[in-house]
Structure 1
Amino acid sequence: MYHIEKNTVQETLIIPLYGRKVCSEHFPHLFKDPEAERICSMLDYDFEEKGKKMESAAGLFGALEVAQRQYDLACEVKDYLKKNPNAAVVNLGCGLDDTFRKCDNGKCKGYNIDMPDVIAIRNELLPESDRERNLAYNLNDEAWMNEIDAKDGAVFFASGVFYYFRTEDMKVLLHKMAKRFPKAVIVFDSCNSRGAKLMTKTWLKEAGIADVGAFFSLEDKDELKNWSDNFASVSAKSYMRGYRDIYKDVSFFHKLMIKFCDSYVKMQIIKITFR
């Protein structure tokens, strides 16, 4: 059993993992995630408090969001691999996410990048497999780019990560990536400033982020087009309905929440293709 301390980085890592497990149990026709169930069973952690929160209607919607986001990003990875089967699949701010394994075609190369303390935990619970590497880097340190073998293409993705980035740091990172990895693609989730403000009341507050105005949010995907001359295209899809419309499969309350996410906080999956 791997012990998880309360109120630590370790605990923030297992929340999305546990969300996928809960989703797998409540919506097995939509999501089945035996890996999330397996890892949670390896943890020495009292899930009772988290479990009660996630069993509520609002908590279950949070679990749905986490699982749907992984599904969306995996769709983009699989789509890229159809044309570039030997490409690098790069998980930015990976936590305990196993999207590479869910998308592995037997030929591509996987890179999971996160801070050293996170990678130390990942190496215990999700150790490297064939063609997969766990890399300990701060994403703002461009040295991680030297580790990526992108000669056969690269698809980058970030799940719930860029909300923690200052907008200026995001501009620098994406511009450097676009110059360094021509013809590559990056996909990530975003919300508007209203969504960012709502987040400050919850998990951004726990992360010590107060000045939400300086952090990344997006009113319109077209804002990104001027960030780099190396962007060939920028597109966006609905987070909850853009890749697979689950609207008809959920309760009335969750239907309302989906509408709220689409219209009020503009939750989207953004895709940028580099020149």
Structure 2
Amino acid sequence: MITLYARATETQRSEPILSDRKAVEIADQVDYDFSKYEKGWSSQLGCVIRARAYDQIVQNFLETYPSAVIVNLGAGLCTRFSRVDNGEVHWYDVDFPEVIALRRKFFEESDRHHFIAKSLLDITWMDAIHRQPNQPMMVLYEGVSMYLSEADNRALLQQIETRFSPTEVLFDVLSRKRAQTTQQHDTVSKTNAEFKWGIDQGSELEAWSPAIRLKQEVFYLSQFLDYPQRLPMPGRLVAQLFPFIPMALFKKSGRIVQLQVGTYS
């Protein structure tokens, strides 16, 4: 709901960073009190910058592999398929049964867009993925890894490697310090969710398996400085006079990591 609210709110700005009319439609119809997130300017801005970065990475992948399989874990009310669909991609949205039931009120499945009603930690979701031999594949999970334990994150990557290698995996992580600050977060603190895991270097993931290679890291929070008008006045002044301060505070507190798991023959 936080990310849905962020995209819907952004879309209604005069010059949106990300336009997502489907998010507006859903937010208008879903029975949920979004008012508790209204003061969460930092989360709102961060969510849309992150979503745009994911879109760009997925679109770049699809430019190279137009008919790839994309698996979106912890999909929630994500609308990415409607934003990046190229007419060829085979897309799977995976989430808890009650979440998929809610998705069905706003989205329709097709021969290229499928829903899987399972927890991402229930690895039987993998049995529902139809992939041709050597068909390129990307598994992504946006805004998910920090709510899983390190053991769960390791197990998930291990299963992805075992079942789907070679594939690319795309997800975002918090720093260790940031992962300890759930109660200070401007929107997550308004829920029952809790941050459980973080890392300080994307390269740490390479130690989890010889098959894992870090392709790139995107420090999306550094883009806050591209929108000084969106910062509160004190932050705006600091950003203008001493830009290195917010850069140091924000840049590495969250990042998107893109992994190559295994190699194509």
* TM score, norm. by length of structure 1: 0.81
Deviations 1:58-94 (A, max 9, x none): x222111111111111111111111211111111100
| 1:205 CA drift (Å) | 8.1
Which runs of structure 2 are paired with 1:18-57 in the superposition (5 Å)? 18-26=5-13, 28-47=15-34, 49-50=35-36, 53-54=37-38, 56=39
Q: In the alignment, what sits opposite 1:74?
A: 55
Give the Cα separation in 2 of the matches to 1:18 and 1:45.
10
Task: Give the secondary structure class of the aligned counterpart of 1:156.
Answer: strand
The answer for the alignment partner of 1:6 in structure 2 is: none
Q: Which residue of 2 aligns with 1:195?
A: 178
Match of 1:128 in 2: 109
Aligned partner of 1:155 among 126, 138, 141: 138
Q: Deviations over 1:14-56 (max 9, x none)?
A: 2221111112223634222211111112234444x33xx42x4
1:226 aligns with 2:215: no
Aligned length: 247
Deviation at 1:204, TM superposition (A): 6.5
Instruction: Pick one of 62, 66, 91 that aligns with 1:110.
Output: 91
Deviation of 1:249 (Å): 3.3
Question: Which 5+ residue runs of structure 1 have no aligned equivalent?
Answer: 1-13
Q: Residue 248 of structure 1: which of 226, 229, 236 is its match? A: 226
Separation in 1 of the partners of 2:189 and 2:141? 17
Give the superposed CA RMSD.
Answer: 2.3
Contact 1:20 1:66 in 2 (8 A): yes
Alpha-carbon spacing, 1:249–1:27, altered in 2? closer, same or farther (3 Å): farther
What stretches of structure 1 move > 6 A for 4+ residues in a row? none
Q: Partner residue of 2:251?
A: 262
SS in 2 for 1:270: strand
What secondary structure sits across from 2:131 in the alignment? coil
- Rounded to whole Å, the distance in 1 between the matches of 2:22 and 2:41 is 19
Partner of residue 272, structure 1:
259
For 2:2, the equivalent position in structure 1 comes to 15
Residue aligning to 1:170: 153
